[in-house]
Structure 1
Amino acid sequence: MNSLIGTVFLVLVVLVLPGLVLILRMAPTAGETALERLTLAIGASLSFIPLLYLWLTWAGIAVRPPMVHLGLVVFLVTALISLHRIPITVLLLALDGSIWHLLIAGASVLTFWLRFEQIRDLVLPVWVDSVHHALLIRVSIEQGAAPLSLRPYLPVDGLTYHWGYHVFVATLAQAGGIYAPEALPQLMIWSGQVISALMVPAYAALALRLWQRPIAGAAAGLVVGLASVMPAYYVSWGRYTLLTGMLVLPAALLALDAVRRHPGPRSTALLALLLAGLSLVHFVVFALTLAACATLLVITTDHTSWRRIAIWLGIALTGALTITAPWIVLMASRILPGTGSSAMHIAGNAGYNALPLELLWAGTNRILLALGGTGALLSLWQRRRAAAWLIIWCAAAVLLANPVVIGLPYLSFITNEMLTITMFAPLALLIAGGAAAIDAWTSPSGWRCGVWRLSTVALAVAVMLWGTNQWRTIVRPDTVLAGPMDLVAIEWAARATPPDARFVVGTAGWLYDVDRGADGGWWLLPLAGRQVSTPPVIYNYGAPDDVAIIKRDTSWLRDHGAAASAEELAAFMRERGYGYVYVSERPGALRAEALRNTSLFECVYDKGGVAIFRLRVPGTRDE
């Protein structure tokens, strides 16, 4: 428990402190409420840390723990010196006593508890993405740099996968003295749940800014934290990069609104920082934010205002591209024409971009879509500019995912699936707008106001109680590929096998011609540093020849591995240079029965349903 509390405290400090200092020095008047300042501080921290890694990496300077500790001390001292510039400490503690702010606080606390209840039985992050996230974090820690090269673990150079999340967790690890690779999974899980819980105050802050009524913040916070299956369900996919990007999004939109209201160098610099950070944290969220910027210009009808806002938005985008120049140049140099299984291909296809109906209607989405539509109509009826902005923004996002409607090819990085799992954000804001519209109609006093307020509070409490019960178990069992005994076996392999040991692991089909691991053996590379037959899917960013060699092995194991005889598996291993086999009882994993009663293999580890076999060398006394 103390370890959990300490880790959560560390995450909050690194999430808030650097960004708070940047806001105090760059734009001390940014944010009109404590929630807005908290949201902007978090977004600025998650942007500043990757940008710092980017330029230090480009300059050849490694980030080491003493630098991280010194940086945190400097930020703390600077924050204490700068706090006099605005009364932020008072605002953070005394929001105004409103019942709606109490509901935001209550939803935040309950969501925080629920997020940790949801991962109570996990010892390793789940599904596909988590494995390469762990590898990129390990590389970032060991190199003290952005993970642009994955050697010696994978033959990948010039990696164009967004890595802002990974260097943030690497910073947490270095700040907290968490150096053992086997400790990374727990840090990933705990920090991810903190990020997920912070969605509540972040989207509440954005809704407050858009609709200018406290009830809007309460409504948005309840939807994001307790009424919607997303983003809580991200933990069941290991979508930590997207989770982080969706936390930066409300900060970027707050900064965008600041440029609209007070265009100038300070607001523009803040927006440039957040846009730059988003391009490193998650490129799809970055693209959606650019669509929000364009949409703002669409709804600005006054010519003078349009021209002024357009100029400052152009400066912000130019600044963002300038401070991420090495990253932008690298991505541009690695783009591949046409379609393919690698994300470096710029073009997508209809099959990959199919609308996932099971996700569209997942959980409470039918209700949320109906409420979001109602909120949009009510807000438009009141002629609210924010409603038009949100609706056109959603339309622009749909067009980005489906450019074929105007005769353009699909894009590989923006899909209907991505829009479906991120639609909780605009829905929460539109529902908040509907609540604000009704609240404005019942105000300022009278029996309608009393009935409305009482019924709304009762409904909010009911949603809190329902959500904490409904989403307590959210991780799908079939996405859990490893358990406690796998972690024990991996730690043993790190101690007892040679550093150059190569393992055959269970393999299953995943996406097109890219296969995934089927059990805990898949974690041997990021945690034990041992090469595996099916590496994390990030290998697909490597050179074509290297990718082809890996796919040759994974395809054989996918089609024949689980059913192969001892003789077939031994022949495969000798031909490809593997010395060990990781077996377990999970679906798709290699089985121990075929290997036990043969002279070809020796069982060197067997505990809790997980076994490791060593291939005997021909011609030795072992065979």
Structure 2
Amino acid sequence: MVADQRALPRSVIWLAVIWLAAIISMAVPGLLWWAPWSLLTSLLAVLSGALLFTLPGLAVLRWLHPGPLLWFERLAYAASLSGAIIPFLLLVSEPIGWRWNSLAAWLVMIVFVALALWPVPRIHRPDRGQRCLIGWMVAWLSVAALAVRLFAVRDVPVGLFGDSYHHTIITQLLIDHGGLFQSWQPYAPAVTFTYHYGFHAIAAWWHWLAGIPPTQAVVLVGQVMSGLAAPLLYLLTARLTNSRLTGLWAAVVVGFLSLYPAYYVNWGRYTQLAGQTVLPAVAVAWMELIDGALSPQRSWRSLAAPLALASIASAGLAFSHYRVAILAICFVVTYTLVALGRSGLVGWRTLRRLGGAGILGALGAALLAWPWLWRVQQGQITRMAAQIVTTDVETRNPIALEIIGAAFQYGLFPLAAIGLISLLWRRQSGGLVLALWAGLVWLAANPQLLGLTGQGLITTFAVLIGAYLVVAPAAGAGLLALIRLGVMITKQAQRRLSATMITIQIVAGLVLVGWGAPMQAAMVDYDYQLATPADLKAAAWIREHLPPDAAIFVNGFPAYGGYVYAGSDGGWWLTFLTGRRTNLLPMAVGFEATDPPNTLRLIAEQHQAVQRYPIGSAQAVAALRALGFHYLYNGPAANPSGEYLDPVQIDAAPFYELIYRQDGVSIWRIR
């Protein structure tokens, strides 16, 4: 099937948009009432967010990719690149002492506007054929996916589960320091900052542009990145398969059918999501560089722009997530091997140019990221990575069957299998790239299969929840293959994409969107909510009624083999929300150097000193007093259950005085 080159009537596009809005309205009741009101009341946040996620990338593309790109593909590419540019600005501003604020952020956005629009780009006549229809459908699917994800968190006051806590603290520290920092005070005794920060940089910038508090910026940036998976997977799929229709169906799959990445909201798994937001730009940039290097007609001068683009995107990925960078390396290796096989016999001159381009791209990325890489070695990350690589620990990287099932939920496994078979049958190299990429990543996560150490450097969990990067393109190809099969069976025209064929695909897409939208809108699982509205209300009471030096003991348990202690309810958030000391730290402190250096061990010893006794016992009270704690806090959440602070025991013991109890929150003073 090839595109119908005749102009499509605008009525087809608008009819599809109207039906999409109607389907979403029926599938997610209340969305179309909530969206306009939210748009009006948060107009600055919406406009600044749109600029934040597009302008930096558009400015870079204007100078490093001036060639023809369809408008919706350029926007998708820019959204991915923007996630790499913003953290780079924070990195380069630190050595000169520049500190960011609202005025500086808006001035830089104005500069991005100038760079993106000047010189005035050459205007191309819009394509009003199939590509125009696909572009509008990708755009409206992306808007719908974003709206559904933002609607899903409309009642979420702060991020869910454990990771959201340190993401919020890092974002707040970036805001407080006007950029990168070293000290984590007043939230933790860490003296280095080496944690990947791309996600937090975006959240801080949205605060500077629109005044969004960090508690909400973390949630909103995460949901926007989740919604952007639709246009980004379109971009990656269309480029890999050389089929915009396949890309369109990949966008439908990841936007409305796949459990991931939408489910990340429940874990606060936002930094991995940030890395996977930048990864499509890295993949597309390297594909262009590799293809250009293998083309005998291309000069070294013509490779300069794609070389710079690949270096910038790769460095930005290093700022966003270290493990996702491994996924990107696996992709580049896979695509290079497939491209070489597709090119047949190539001369040594071409191979030298390909190798030279690859080395220069890697060196360029390393050079741009070098200030950050130098900083990283000051913390614990490199030591931990070296220990993993040199230690053979098979239990470090378990494979959970339920996670595998979730990655292929809602029939995605057969669709992906059909898609890969279809791509391979039609000798499309993109199918081979997807299959080999998945295999190489699995080996990277499980090097013991090859008799190597390093198991756990990238976990199977991280691989499986990121498998949508392969599953969505393959499942999109599978859906398109089934539609083509239906056309063949019904003897529809094969040489031209008729209006009937367009209608069939629109109807099928609307049905899938209508089926998947309610699942996406109900994705938030409040069992993962640690800080509830009741905890926020109690935190306000603590700020008003307890002294600033009050030390509060909250529910905590050993995580990651006892390396750090995590919280199981809203008490974990009290240091951030109230400024009072607790017995817990943000988990990301485990990657940093601390003062004193044995802080993590001291925290563990404190918990063990108290929790070896029942909370209602005199021994537990004596341990609490010896450690300087004055209060106990128990919130309504309990994940995991079986918390140490048992209200029944505490109420019955004569050592505690109840001073607050409301909506499931209890606070006691230690007598």
Q: Does TM, scored on the shorter chain, surpass 0.5? A: yes
Residue matched to 1:85 = 121
In structure 1, the residue matched to 2:424 is: 380
Q: Does 1:196 align with 2:233?
A: no
Quick check: 1:204–1:221 contact (8 Å CA) kept in 2?
Answer: yes
8 Å CA contact retained: 2:610, 2:620: no
Q: Does 1:281 align with 2:320?
A: yes
Matched with 2:245 is: 215
What residue in structure 1 maps to residue 645 of structure 2? 590
| Amino acid aligned to 1:482 | A
How far 1:424 sits from its partner (Å)?
Answer: 0.8
1:128-207 equivalence runs, <5 A: 128-178=162-212, 183-207=213-237
Aligned to 2:565: 515
Change (3 A) 1:604 1:357: same
Match of 2:8 in 1: none
- The answer to whether the Cα contact below 8 Å between 1:284 and 1:414 also exists between their aligned partners in 2 is yes
Pick from 466, 469, 473: which aligns with 2:522?
473
What pairs up with 1:441-452 in 2 under 5 angstroms? 447=492, 449=494
- Of 264, 273, 276, 1:234 maps to 264
CA contact 1:379–1:387 (8 Å) conserved in 2: yes
**What is the CA-CA distance between 1:363 and the residue it aligns to?**
6.8
Q: Distance in 2 between matches of 1:338 and 1:66?
A: 39
Q: Tell me the equivalent position of 1:350.
A: 394
Q: Give 2:314's aligned amino acid.
A: L
**In the alignment, is the contact (CA less than 8 A) between 2:388 and 2:454 conserved in 1?**
no
Task: Tell me the SS of whatever aligns to 1:590.
Answer: coil
**Separation of aligned partners in 2, 1:36 and 1:557:** 57
Deviates more, 1:516-525 or 1:219-228: 516-525
Give the Cα separation in 1 of the matches to 2:384 and 2:65: 43
Query: What is the alpha-carbon distance in structure 2 between the residues aligned to residue 258 and residue 23 of structure 1?
Result: 13
Please say if residues 338 and 347 of structure 1, whose CA atoms lie closer than 8 Å, have aligned partners that are also in contact: no
- Paired residues for 1:107-118 under 5 Å: 107-118=141-152
| Corresponding pairs, count | 604
Separation in 1, partners of 2:288, 2:575: 45
1:572: which partner in 2? 623
- Larger mean CA deviation between 397-406 and 507-516 belongs to 507-516
Name the SS of the counterpart of 1:515 in structure 2: strand
SS in 2 for 1:614: strand
Q: Which residue of 1 aligns with 2:99?
A: 62
User: Is the alpha carbon distance of 1:603 and 1:399 closer, same or farther for their aligned partners in structure 2, counting shifts above 3 Å?
Assistant: same
In the aligned structure 1, how far is the partner of 2:172 from the partner of 2:252?
A: 35
Contact 1:160-1:334 at 8 Å conserved across structures: yes
Contact 1:39 1:250 in 2 (8 A): no
Q: 1:318 aligns with which of 348, 353, 363?
A: 363
How far does residue 212 in structure 1 lie from its aligned partner after superposition?
Answer: 2.6
The alpha-carbon deviation at position 600 of structure 1 amounts to: 4.5
Identify which of 69, 79, 96 aligns with 1:32: 69
Query: C-alpha displacement at 1:437, in angstroms?
Result: 5.7
Structure 2: how far apart are the matches of 1:417 and 1:216? 27
CA distance in 1 between counterparts of 2:437 and 2:163 reads 28
Q: 1:348 to 1:124 in 2, by over 3 A?
A: farther
Q: Quote how far apart the aligned CAs of 1:270 are.
A: 0.8
Paired with 1:283 and 1:462, the residues of 2 have a C-alpha distance of 38
CA distance in 2, matches of 1:166, 1:589: 32
| Equivalent position of 1:13 in the other structure | 51
Kept in 2, the 8 Å contact 1:291–1:397? The answer is yes
Distance 1:345 1:502 in 2: 40
Residue pair 1:515, 1:537 contacting (<8 A) in 2 also = yes
The 8 Å contact of residues 407 and 467 in structure 2, kept in 1 or not, is answered as: no
| Aligned with 2:632 (options 581, 592, 597) | 581
Over residues 177-206 of structure 1, what are the superposed CA-to-partner deviations in whole Å (9 max), with x where a residue is unaligned?
34xxxx322222122211111111111122
Please name the residue that 1:413 is paired with: 457
Distance of 1:168 and 1:346 partners within structure 2 = 35
Q: CA RMSD in A?
A: 3.0
Shift of 1:480: 1.4
Q: Secondary structure of 1:137's partner?
A: helix
Q: Does the Cα contact within 8 Å between 2:229 and 2:251 map onto a contact in 1?
A: yes
Deviations 1:426-455 (A, max 9, x none): 111123334556778869x96155676554
Please give the alpha-carbon distance, in whole angstroms, between the structure 2 residues aligned to 1:504 and 1:590: 9
Select between 425-434 and 246-255 the one with higher mean Cα deviation. 425-434
Cα distance in 2 for residues equivalent to 1:229 and 1:208: 22
Post-superposition Cα deviations, 1:106-155, rounded to whole Å, max 9, x if no partner, equal 43233223212322332221111001111111111111222443233212
Which residue in the other structure is 2:507 paired with? 458
Q: Pick which of 187-196 and 538-547 moved more.
A: 538-547
Q: Distance in 1 between matches of 2:414 and 2:393?
A: 30
- 1:438-474, Cα deviation, whole Å (9 max, x unpaired): 778869x961556765544333222111101233322
- What stretches of structure 1 of length at least 5 have no aligned partner? 617-623
Note the C-alpha offset of 1:329.
2.4
Q: How far, CA to CA, are the matches of 1:510 and 1:240 in structure 2?
A: 19
CA distance 1:609–1:589, change in 2 (3 Å)? farther
What amino acid sits opposite 1:15 in the alignment? F
TM alignment of 1:290-305, pairs within 5 A: 290-299=329-338, 300-301=340-341, 302=343, 303-304=346-347, 305=350
Cα gap change, 1:348/1:475 in structure 2, threshold over 3 Å: closer, same or farther? farther
The aligned amino acid for 1:203 is L
1:23 aligns with 2:61: yes
**Which secondary structure state, in structure 2, belongs to the residue aligned with residue 231 of structure 1?**
coil
| Structure 2 unaligned blocks of 5 or more | 1-37, 294-302
In 2, Cα distance between equivalents of 1:396 and 1:187? 35
SS in 1 for 2:540: helix
249 and 232 in structure 1: CA distance in 2 versus 1, 3 angstrom threshold: same
- TM-score normalised by structure 2 residue count: 0.83
> Cα distance, 1:333 vs. partner?
5.2
Structure 2 counterpart of 1:316, one-letter code: G
Whether the 8 Å CA contact 1:509–1:558 is kept in 2: the answer is no
Q: Quick one: distance in 1 between partners of 2:555 and 2:152?
A: 27
Q: Distance in 1 between matches of 2:404 and 2:445?
A: 15
CA distance in 1 between counterparts of 2:513 and 2:611 reads 44
Distance 1:557 1:13, change over 3 A: farther
Distance across 1 between alignment mates of 2:605 and 2:122: 61
Code of the aligned partner of 1:549: L
Query: Partners in 2 of 1:328 and 1:44 — Cα distance?
Result: 20
Q: Distance in 1 between matches of 2:71 and 2:155?
A: 35
- Whichever residue aligns with residue 483 of structure 1, its letter is T
**Alpha-carbon contact 1:336-1:344 (below 8 Å) kept:** no
C-alpha displacement of 1:564? 0.6
Deviates more, 1:363-372 or 1:255-264: 363-372
What is the distance in 1 between the residues matched to 2:308 and 2:665?
Answer: 53
Following superposition, the deviation at residue 51 of structure 1 comes to 1.4
Call closer, same or farther: CA 1:45–1:75 in 2, change over 3 Å.
same
* Structure 2 partner of 1:391: 435
Question: 2: CA distance between counterparts of 1:120 and 1:22?
Answer: 33
Q: How high is the sequence identity, in percent, across the aligned residues?
A: 26
The letter for the 2-side match of 1:198 is: L
**Which deviations, in whole Å up to 9, do the C-alpha atoms of 1:290-311 show, x marking residues without a partner?**
1111112212134344443332
CA–CA separation in structure 1 for the residues paired with 2:189 and 2:531: 25
Counterparts in 2 of 1:94 and 1:175: CA distance versus 1, 3 Å: farther
Structure 2 distance, partners of 1:337, 1:21, is 34
Q: In 2, distance between residues paired with 1:478 and 1:261?
A: 48
CA contact (8 A) 1:347 1:412 kept: no
Q: How many Å separate the matches in 2 of 1:255 and 1:175? A: 29
Find the partner of 1:430 among 468, 474, 480. 474
